Structure 1
Amino acid sequence: MIFYLLGAALGMATTGASPVTQPIGAGLMAVAGGAMTWQAARD
């Protein structure tokens, strides 16, 4: 996780290859995955 964050920050700072919305989208996907896992475990 730390390597991803550092890589994304380096990409944004040097080449602009990683848009600002990428970490936001990754966080939303992680939350959605956790919600699905929690719901599946409850059933």
Structure 2
Amino acid sequence: KRWIVERTFAWFGNYRRLSKDYEILTSTAENMVRIAMLSIMVTKCV
């Protein structure tokens, strides 16, 4: 199952904003992760 986590982090690597912690609020960073995951899921389904 380790490869699942590694693959997910590799997908996050495509989102430059997630590669560094620019966000002040944790809720903003959390929402950015959610947006990235939604984008990845939509891309994989289409």
What TM-score, normalized by structure 1, do the two folds share? Answer: 0.50
Which has the larger Rg? 1
What TM-score, normalized by structure 2, do the two folds share? Answer: 0.47
Give the structure with the higher percent helix.
1
Larger RCO: Structure 1 or Structure 2 (Cα < 8 Å, ≥ 6 residues apart)?
2
